[in-house]
Structure 1
Amino acid sequence: MPVDHYENFPVASILVPAPLRQPIEVIYRFARSADDIADEGDATPEQRLAELAAYQAELDRIAAGNTPQTPLFVDLAEVIADHALPIQLFRDLLDAFAQDVVKTRYADYPELIDYCRRSANPVGRLVLALFKRTGDTQLMQSDCICTALQLINFWQDIAIDWQKDRIYLPQVEMQRFGVGEDDIAAGRCGEGWEKLIAFQVDRARTLMLRGAPLVHALPGRIGWEIRLTVQGGLRILERIARVRGDVFRHRPKLGKADWFVLLARSIRM
């Protein structure tokens, strides 16, 4: 799976069992549309927050047993009811998207991880709930994969996020490696930058590998979906390392040829 846009979400592909494709697609529509409210277009911060508040109000209606007012949430209410999905996970996603509207810097890694806990991890937990795989170890492994995918997207899109006045690199770690915001603005990849990005790549890879055994707990085709997702994320990290962190001139992406590599590696997991 390419790591792009709402890339921490395993989109319902042909590998997902047919009965669960529609629920996953509905959850994806919710997450993608809410993410777009926070991130796309030229709306003011006030307008974005108001639209996200309207999403929260629809979740409140579902939680109260009332009929939602929009088609998306009518579908979502049915999925939540049919699969007993925790509504707090949807609230967490909206909370993270609202944070993106107003917060553009992260002081340290724990602060960034707290954001990932709400922006990425709920998606994996919702998928596990659909498959009735919600043991403590499975949830932990899912969180590792989803957080790693979120971090990978951050490091892949440093230049893009800079254009939105966002920096997800922890400020204390930038200082530790002697990197300033002016380096990002100039696309400067000196020794400090290379070491900073190598550090982020290694940490994201470790997190991904910690979660990777989850694939053995998932049945059939969904296991393969997650295998490809994990390997796609690891492949992006390889690309970042190969260009020594220069994501300004070499934004890593996956092409058709990469699918053969991902499949071969997935077989060996």
Structure 2
Amino acid sequence: MDTPGISDIHLEDAYDYCEQITRNEARNFYYAFITLPMRKKRAIYTAYAFCRRCDDAVDNSESTTEKKRLLDEIENNLKSGINLDKLILENNPIILATCAIIKEFNIPQQHFFDVIQGVRMDIEFTTFNSFDEVKEYCYKVASVIGLICIKIFGYTNPKAIDYAIDFGLAMQLTNILRDILDDLNENRCYLAYEEMDKFNYSINQLRESLYNDDFIKMMKFEVDRAKRYFESGTRLLPLVDTDSRICLVILSKIYRKILKKIERSNYNIFQTDYRLNTFEKLSIMGFTWLRYKITKK
């Protein structure tokens, strides 16, 4: 960055710090990210580290007051970093690296503030009544990250924006279905109550782990919708730079496999863990990479 007193070495250290966070924390994303060329890879690591820091502010804090304080601190530090506050940039590697990629890839600053706002929604979260509310939440915690990513991946066709939004939405809907039980343990449910009512199923039945025909029909509806968003989102693939496409393919395959696992269990989330193990992720990455190399020849 062209900031007095901030050296290239300082910035490289910040990028390395973000990469380490991604290595340690990104369970699914890392296997896709490592396929990117170095310049884009370090930018994606930075975007992930920023999002991770926001999530940790909420997940690792006990009191609501402390969660809000930590998010406010991240937001204020980002504002200061964008305004080239040397003290903030020197002492906060994630903010330094984030401000650098905002400038290098011309990423709208608002995308990062939207991420913070999305995480804030989790602090005092109760329920969603309609799917429109679910979509608004998914946009702020997932789709906006897709918009950050396509600026890093590179694109020229404006249709990429809508497809990136749908791709992020598909991924977050998959996360919601995969993590229903974990979220219930945190007193959260991201399924829309209106849609549960439509299938004659209730939050109380969900808490009691009632697995019946109504639940199966509801889950099939939810999975089918996530798959439709993936169908739209994968239209993004030919619109991003060639050197970024394999990353998207791997992400799509990993998350689609989670949906397939849910289907194969006949939607019995109460007795099945849908997380992919390391071998499954490496297999997806390896076969995708091999097919990509063969296709290029």
Shift of residue 54 of structure 1? 0.6
Corresponding position of 2:219: 197
Aligned residue runs from structure 1 range 53-202, under 5 A:
53-67=72-86, 68=88, 70-133=92-155, 135-202=157-224
Contact conserved, 1:9 with 1:123, CA < 8 A, in 2? Answer: no
- Whichever residue aligns with residue 88 of structure 1, its letter is Q
- Give the residue type in structure 2 aligned to 1:194: I
Structure 1 residues 220, 42: closer, same or farther in 2, change over 3 A?
same
| Paired position in structure 2 for 1:32 | 52
What value does the CA root-mean-square deviation take over the aligned residues? Answer: 2.4
SS at match of 2:97: helix
Is the 1:128–1:134 Cα contact (8 Å) retained in structure 2? no
Gaps of 5+ in 1: none
One-letter amino acid of the counterpart of residue 49, structure 2: R
TM-score, normalised with respect to structure 2: 0.82
Residue 43 of structure 1 and its aligned partner are, at CA, apart by 1.6
In structure 2, what residue type is equivalent to 1:252?
A: Y
- Whose Rg is larger? 2
Residue from 12, 20, 27 that aligns with 2:40: 20
Secondary structure of the 1:122 match is: helix
Q: Secondary structure at the match of 1:101?
A: coil
After superposition, the C-alpha distances for 1:4-63 in whole angstroms (9 at most, x for unaligned) are x87786776331011122121111111011112122x35211110110011110122134
Alignment length (residue pairs): 264
- Cα distance in 2 between the residues matched to 1:145 and 1:176: 26
Shift, 1:134, TM fit: 5.3
Find the aligned partners of 2:221 and 2:115 in 1 and give their Cα distance: 27
Write the distance in 1 (CA, Å) between the matches of 2:156 and 2:273. 35
Question: Residue deviations 1:39-95, cap 9 Å, x none?
Answer: 2x3521111011001111012213434333523212222222222211100000000
Which one is further off, 135-144 or 153-162? 135-144
Secondary structure at the aligned position of 1:188 is classed as coil
Residue range with higher mean Cα deviation, 120-129 or 57-66: 57-66
* Whole-angstrom CA distance in 1 between matches of 2:220 and 2:36: 34
Aligned-partner Cα distance in 2 for 1:135–1:49: 38
Contact 1:10 1:226 in 2 (8 A): no
Q: Summarize the Cα distance change of 1:123–1:11 in structure 2 as closer, same or farther, 3 Å threshold.
A: farther
Which stretch of structure 1 is more off in the superposition, 257-266 or 123-132? 257-266
CA distance in 2, matches of 1:265, 1:21: 18
Structure 1 residue 127: Cα displacement: 1.4
Q: Secondary structure at the match of 1:85?
A: coil
Alignment deviations for residues 166-219 of structure 1 (CA, whole Å, 9 cap, x no partner): 000001011111111222212111111111110000000000011112112223
Name the CA distance, whole Å, in 1 between partners of 2:46 and 2:215: 40
Q: Percent identity?
A: 21
| Aligned mates of 2:242, 2:197 — CA distance in 1 | 46
**Runs of 4+ off more than 6 Å:** 5-8
